[in-house]
Amino acid sequence: GLRILVGRDAAGNDRLTFAVARGNDLWLHARDHPGSHVVVPLSRGADPDPVTLHEAALLAAHFSGARGQGGADVEYTRRKNVRKPSRGAPGLVYVAAGRTLRVRTDDPRLAPLLERREDP
């Protein structure tokens, strides 16, 4: 599968979203919950496969305030559709052209993802 990058905190979310991610990369975040920004690096014009999209959404839900709530809506879009408000707090963004994917936070596919985690 494709590599999935996850922000660790608000400042890390800003770095991931605005310094690491490129315009066509996929960006995800649990809707209506504080939590990690998740980025899937993609080649220009490429779309993520459905498995990678689902796995990235699981990670966004897991590393958010939605963890343990049974399910979460995860918003996703291309990074180029994510903007930082002027003088906005770290991690705060505006999203245009976002789509939503509903995931179960107790999905059994989450454990293997967490086991494959690589720390920088």
Confidence at residue 82, expressed as pLDDT on a 0 to 100 scale: 97
Do residues 45 and 23 lie in contact, with contact meaning Cβ atoms separated by under 8 Å?
no
- Band of residue 1 on the pLDDT scale cut at 50, 70, 90: low
pTM of the shown model: 0.93
Amino acid letter for position 70: G
Do residues 60 and 35 lie in contact, with contact meaning Cβ atoms separated by under 8 Å?
yes
25-69 pLDDT, tens digit per residue, is 999 999 999 999 999 999 988 999 999 999 999 999 999 999 989
Amino acid letter for position 54: H
